[in-house]
A and B are shown apart, each in its own frame.
Chain A
Amino acid sequence: MRPLVSDATRLRFARNGNLQFGLAMLSLLVLASVAGSALVPFDPLDIDFGQALQPPGWPHLFGTDDLGRDVLARVVASASVDMKVVSICVLLPFLIGSTIGLVSGYFGGWIDLIIMRFVDVLWAFPFYVLVISIVGALGPGTGNIYLAFSMVVWISFARIVRGEVLLARRLEYTQAVSVLGYSHARIMLRHVLPNVITPAIVFMMADVVLTILGVTSLGFLGLGIQPPTPEWGVMIAEGRNFIQDGWWISLFPGLAIVFVGITFSLIGDGLDDFLRPKP
Chain B
Amino acid sequence: MKLVFFTLSRLAQLLPVLLGITFVAFFLLRVMPGDPATLMLGSRGTPEDIAALTRQLGLDRPLSAQYLSFLSDIARGSFGRSIAYKAQIGPLIGERLWPTLALVGFSTVLAVAMTVPLAMLTAVRRGGVLDHLVKIFFVVAMSMPGFWLGVLLILLFAIVIPIFPVSGYGDDFLTRLHHLVLPATIIALGTAALTIRSLRSSIVAVLGADYIDTARAKGMPERIVLWHHVFRNSLTSTISVLAVHTSWVVGGTVVIETVFGIPGLGSLLVSSISARDYPMVQGLTLTFAVLVVSINLLADVAYALVDPRVSLS
Contact = CB atoms under 8 A, between A and B. Distances in A.
Contacts of A221: 255, 258, 270
Nearest to B22: A121
A120 interface: yes
15 contacts: A117-B16, A120-B17, A121-B21, A124-B290, A125-B24, A125-B289, A129-B254, A129-B269, A134-B32, A137-B39, A236-B145, A243-B159, A254-B148, A257-B144, A265-B143
Interface in B224-281: 247-248, 250-252, 254-255, 258, 269-270, 273-274, 278, 281
A127 B151 contact: no
B142 interface: yes
B197 to A, nearest CB: 10
A83 interface: no
Nearest to A264: B143
Interface in B1-58: 16-17, 20-21, 23-24, 28-29, 32-34, 39
Given A125-B24, A236-B151, A133 B285 contact: yes
A266 B135 CA distance: 11
Given A126-B288, A138-B32, A121 B24 contact: yes
Contacts of B254: 126, 128-129, 132
- Would you list the 9 A-B pairs with minimal beta carbon distance, nearest first? A261-B143, A126-B251, A136-B273, A121-B20, A254-B148, A128-B251, A124-B289, A129-B288, A258-B143
A228 B273 CA distance: 22
Given A132-B273, A244-B159, A258-B140, A251 B152 contact: yes
A73 to B, nearest CB: 20
Residue with the highest number of chain A CB atoms closer than 10 Å, among B252, B255, B258: B255
Contacts of B155: 243-244, 247
A254 B144 contact: yes
Contact of B139 (A133, A236, A262): A262
Chain B interface size band reads 35 or more
B67 interface: no
Contacts of B251: 126-129
A216 interface: yes
Interface of A: 117-118, 120-130, 132-134, 136-139, 209, 213, 216-217, 220-223, 233, 236, 239-240, 243-244, 247, 250-251, 253-254, 257-262, 265-266
Given A137-B39, A257-B145, 7 more contacts: A129-B254, A129-B284, A132-B269, A137-B32, A236-B147, A262-B143, A266-B139
Q: Is the interface of B mostly helix, strand, loop or mixed?
A: helix
B152 A133 contact: no
Contacts of A118: 20
Contact of B247 (A121, A126, A259): A126
B239 to A, nearest CB: 18
A123 B288 CA distance: 11
A137 B273 contact: yes
A217 B285 contact: no
A134 B29 CA distance: 7
B274 A243 contact: no
Contacts of A129: 250-251, 254, 269, 284-285, 288-289
Interface in B108-155: 139-140, 142-149, 151-152, 154-155
A117 to B, nearest CB: 7
Contact of B270 (A132, A137, A247, A260): A132
Contact of B250 (A126, A134, A139, A233): A126
Interface in B152-186: 152, 154-155, 159
Contacts of B293: 124
B292 interface: yes
Given A126-B251, A129-B269, A260 B143 contact: yes
A250 B144 CA distance: 13
Residue with the highest number of chain B CB atoms closer than 10 Å, among A136, A209, A260: A136
A220 B255 contact: yes
A254 B270 contact: no
Given A221-B255, A221-B270, A243-B151, A138 B33 contact: yes
A139 B33 CA distance: 11
A137 B281 contact: yes
A239 B154 CA distance: 13
B143 A209 contact: yes
Residue with the highest number of chain B CB atoms closer than 10 Å, among A133, A221, A259: A133
B273 A122 contact: no
B29 A133 contact: yes
Contacts of A217: 145-147, 255
A122 B289 CA distance: 9
Nearest to A261: B143
A259 B143 CA distance: 8
Contacts of A124: 17, 21, 247, 289-290, 292-293
Nearest to A123: B247
Contacts of B17: 120-121, 124
Contact of A254 (B39, B145, B269): B145
Contacts of B20: 117-118, 120-121
Contacts of A126: 247-248, 250-252, 254, 288-289, 292
A239 B255 contact: no
Contacts of A247: 152, 155
A174 B16 CA distance: 34
Contacts of B142: 209, 261, 265
A131 B273 CA distance: 12
